[in-house]
Amino acid sequence: MIFSEEHESLCFNLNFSSPFNFTCQRCCACCYNRHIELNNYEIFRLTKYLRLSPQEFLNQFTDSGLRPSLKNKDNGACIFLGPSGCSIHPARPLVCRLFPLGLLFGPRGEERWGIMPLHPDCTGLISSEGTLADYLQSQGAIPYLRFARLASCRHP
């Protein structure tokens, strides 16, 4: 995601040392009506987890576009939302790992971190226990971030 006026109005002023933690209550309200685009690394992790070829995965679970995006069911739920929550949790995309954090890349790859608006029904708790870096580690976001950084350099 790159900087935009809309994002300028949000407060994107966190860094890796900023106090931050988020406790999700797993209500799944934020797994509806999303548009989650996938990069090649996310597709790789999902195909490995689901034991599918890239083509099988793309055909079954994504809508095509500039970039493939996860399908939603008729009721708006993410294609991977099951009765017990996210059915691909260990391989979930970066945006699901970061939420409610948002990451913007500037024209030279500079990063800005902030907190996105929560879903109106979200009961998750933001606190200052730990740092943003700790949170990223706890969500398994580090390899996903490496790829996102590379991709932002390739497509400034």
Residues near ligand SF4 (CB under 6 A)? 24-31, 34, 78, 80-81, 86, 88, 92-93, 96, 99, 119, 122-124
Give least dist CB 80 to ligand SF4, A: 4
Choice between 99 and 105, CB closer to ligand SF4: 99
Give least dist CB 156 to ligand SF4, A: 27
Choice between 31 and 136, CB closer to ligand SF4: 31
Largest CA distance in the chain: 42
Give least dist CB 109 to ligand SF4, A: 26
Q: Cα-flanking dihedrals φ and ψ of residue 40, to 5°?
A: -65, -35
In 3D space, the residue among 133, 35, 132, 141 whose CA is nearest the CA of residue 97 turns out to be 141
Give least dist CB 121 to ligand SF4, A: 6
In 3D space, the residue among 144, 156, 112, 153 whose CA is nearest the CA of residue 12 turns out to be 112
**Cα pseudo-dihedral 68, 59, 101, 144, rounded to 10:** -90
Using a 10 angstrom Cβ sphere, with 0-12 exposed, 13-18 middle and 19 or more buried, the burial of residue 24 is middle
Choice between 3 and 140, CB closer to ligand SF4: 140
**Cα pseudo-dihedral 117, 80, 32, 125, rounded to 10:** -40
Choice between 31 and 132, CB closer to ligand SF4: 31
Give least dist CB 106 to ligand SF4, A: 26
Q: How far is CA 23 from each of CA 74, 123, 130, rounded to the nearest angstrom?
A: 29, 9, 12
Choice between 17 and 123, CB closer to ligand SF4: 123
